[in-house]
Structure 1
């Protein structure tokens, strides 16, 4: 009976993982997921990663983050924007004939961490509340979503500022010493709306699923969550 239950949970997790992966690529390659702005692409692709992190645990969250990064790499290679060179080594860095391997870091590492930080925040708050307060669940889900969204925006833009400062400033036509203010303005303009969207969608999706699938204990038991 226990083996049958474990098998059912594995099948359930794989179904969710497949669904979230498909959703990431659907959003990435339709107008629904990536909003093209003059200097960067605002995104809601972090939302399926956040949902997967909370519902499936950090290991599967990291996988979904990697799929987010892969979709970004492919789209920036096929439909390059002004800043595409920071997301894919297939686009030459301004002033150079080749791309930079550091683009893989920018493209993948922050997105993979989006699969970890929401789970950590949700687990912490659920343990502090001992899982007894339904209102606290909604708050913890919203906070986890905000942290996940800001993980993406802040780490992506921070990595660009560290790894591509001169070339990114040149591509944007601004002095290097003005780059920090420029990056902070993007974090505010993109990160805050993205965090708000995630904070609204995540509880709306997760609360019914947690009840329906009886996932209440999963965030509090590490070996069940991964």
Structure 2
């Protein structure tokens, strides 16, 4: 009985340590210039969703959601202390002329990122054969792609929902044309991000999700 309790306690500590490791990686990437967030003027490109996706696959959707929340927090901090012209869509503490962030900024900043840590797990589960725990390369590709696209599609569409007028003004686009502009960002920025995420997820995930490797590193 005592051994079972001790083993359960050790497992919890191990999970906490693993989660903390992914958190540290996310924070490191977020605050290393031109690594986690790459300023493009109209937005910031990012690859921070990759450790969130991998963490979701290794640790499960609850921990994935937590890692996504950390991703959102780094975005919030970055846009507050190092703003671009469109930072008001990610933080209520930045103003551009008459346009100011608000509760919508927090929704945009956190909800898509939290779901980025949840969606890939369930997408990957669809590719696992019943009764088998083999690594699925197609599943990893789709998990990486879907995780990145979850972030991009939700962020950009929520921007349109909450801040279309301000976002149009910040980018010098007519309000009637702003959704077309958003679609162009999804195409030029979001799709390449998703492809990169898919490639990195399958390359790294095939190693980390391997049974022998997982047993050695404790995942």
Shift of 1:198: 1.2
* Partner residue, 2:214: 213
Q: Answer yes or no: is the 8 Å Cα contact 1:94–1:171 preserved in 2.
A: no
TM-score, reference length from structure 2? 0.90
Structure 1 residues 56-71: aligned runs within 5 Å: 56-71=59-74
Distance 1:197 1:181, change over 3 A: same
Higher relative CO (Cα under 8 Å, sequence separation at least 6) belongs to: 1
TM-score, reference length from structure 1? 0.87
Please give the secondary structure, in 2, of the residue aligned with 1:88. Answer: coil
Whole-Å separation in 2 of the counterparts to 1:91 and 1:180: 23
Whole-Å separation in 1 of the counterparts to 2:64 and 2:115: 8
* Partner residue, 1:7: 9
Matched, 1:76 2:79: yes
Which of structure 1's runs of 4+ aligned residues deviate more than 4 A? 131-134
Whole-Å separation in 1 of the counterparts to 2:11 and 2:214: 10
Q: Answer yes or no: is the 8 Å Cα contact 1:61–1:112 preserved in 2.
A: yes
- The Cα offsets for residues 72-119 of structure 1, whole Å up to 9 and x where unpaired, read as 0111111110110000000025414x5322100000000000011001
Distance 1:86 1:5, change over 3 A: same
Q: Answer yes or no: is the 8 Å Cα contact 2:85–2:96 preserved in 1.
A: no
| Structure 2: stretches of 5+ with no match in the other structure | none
Tell me how large the CA RMSD over aligned residues is.
1.9
